[in-house]
């Protein structure tokens, strides 16, 4: 039976146990962002990514996603090389990349402040950038969507690290709810982004 052309096809699983992944999310439209972040996290954990190796950071809005991806990835590279050379400490003013953060009920995310057990210090194997742009809410929707998309693609190619495109660009809030899995007929796209991060993180290592 034909089940529709949309979606990433047959589910595939990969061993994510050696991966280190960052999620960077906008706080704009927080009630939609939260389930997307949780969905991404859930599918990564299901494929063996250690919670301690999932770093979550937030930025005000989608516009800020590319710079956050750039800084986080660069910081993780510096941290990886400093830990292999025996240098200790945070290199980028308070950016404690070996620690995980948890989304707070009211929105955004808060650092746990506790060193995550068995967190690795390698550079990120994949970064998921999550934002929700609703056309009806911003007159510069197309401008932000286009610029952020181009910025994320550029970073992915320049850094040779998978940057998973978790930017929902929708016409209205109802469409966004559906894609965040908040309607009965909806599907949480964050789950697909988590799967994509694991697959691409594993393949990036294979293709190195």
Pick between residue 29 and residue 109 the one whose CB is nearest to ligand DLZ: 29
Q: Please, what is the minimum distance in Å from the beta carbon of residue 11 to ligand DLZ?
A: 29
Residue 138 binding ligand DLZ, by CB under 6 A: yes
Tokens at residue 152, please?
A: 């994320």
d(CA 208, CA 116): 28
Tokens at residue 65, please?
A: 């996603």
Pick between residue 14 and residue 165 the one whose CB is nearest to ligand DLZ: 165
When binding is defined by CB under 6 A, the residue of 62, 101, 109, 156 that contacts ligand DLZ is 62
Q: Which of residues 141-170 bind ligand DLZ (CB under 6 A)?
A: 144
Residue 180 binding ligand DLZ, by CB under 6 A: no
Q: Is position 140 annotated as part of the catalytic site?
A: yes
Q: In three state form, how does the secondary structure of the chain look?
A: CCCCCCCCCCCCCCCCCCCCEEEEEECCCHHHHHHHHHHHHHHHHHCCCCHHHEEEEEECCHHHHHHHHHHHHHHHHHHHHHHHCCCCCCCCCCCCCCCCEEECCCCCEEECCCCCCCCCCCCCCEEEEEEEEEHHHCCCHHHHHHHHHHHHHHHHHHHCCCEEEEEEEECCHHHHHHHECCCCCCCEHHHHHHHHHHHHHHHHHHCC
**By Cβ distance, which residue is nearest to ligand DLZ?**
61
Q: Please, what is the minimum distance in Å from the beta carbon of residue 151 to ligand DLZ?
A: 12
Who's near 5: CB < 8 A, 6+ residues apart? none
When binding is defined by CB under 6 A, the residue of 48, 51, 61, 83 that contacts ligand DLZ is 61
Q: Find the Cα–Cα–Cα–Cα dihedral 66, 68, 74, 79, rounded to 10°.
A: -160
Residue 63 binding ligand DLZ, by CB under 6 A: yes
When binding is defined by CB under 6 A, the residue of 137, 165, 186, 187 that contacts ligand DLZ is 137
From 140, 143, 187, 189, active-site residue: 140
Residue 60 binding ligand DLZ, by CB under 6 A: yes
Binding to ligand DLZ by CB under 6 A, coded x per residue (else -) over 21-40, reads: -----x-xx-----------
Stretch that binds ligand DLZ, among 48-56, 68-76, 131-139, 153-161 (CB under 6 A): 131-139
Catalytic residues: 140
Binding site for ligand DLZ (CB under 6 A): 26, 28-29, 60-64, 131-134, 137-138, 144
């Amino acid at each position: 039976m034909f089940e529709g052309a949309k979606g990433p096809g047959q589910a595939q699983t990969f061993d994510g146990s050696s991966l280190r992944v960052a999620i960077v999310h906008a706080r704009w439209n927080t009630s939609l962002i939260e389930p997307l972040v949780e969905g991404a996290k859930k599918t990564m954990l299901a494929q063996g990514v250690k919670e301690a190796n999932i770093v979550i950071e937030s930025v005000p809005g989608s516009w800020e996603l590319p710079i956050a991806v750039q800084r986080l990835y660069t910081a993780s590279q510096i941290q990886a090389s400093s830990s292999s050379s025996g240098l200790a400490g945070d290199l980028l003013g308070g950016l404690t990349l070996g620690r995980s953060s948890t989304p707070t009920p009211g929105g955004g995310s808060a650092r746990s402040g506790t060193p995550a057990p068995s967190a690795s210090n390698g550079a990120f194997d994949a970064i998921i950038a999550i934002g929700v742009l609703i056309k009806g809410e911003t007159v510069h929707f197309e401008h932000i969507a286009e610029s952020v998309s181009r910025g994320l693609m550029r970073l992915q190619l320049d850094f040779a690290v998978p940057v998973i495109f978790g930017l929902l660009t929708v016409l209205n809030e109802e469409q966004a709810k559906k894609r965040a899995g908040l309607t009965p007929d909806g599907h949480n796209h964050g789950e697909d982004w988590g799967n994509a991060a694991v697959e691409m993180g594993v393949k990036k290592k294979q293709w190195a």
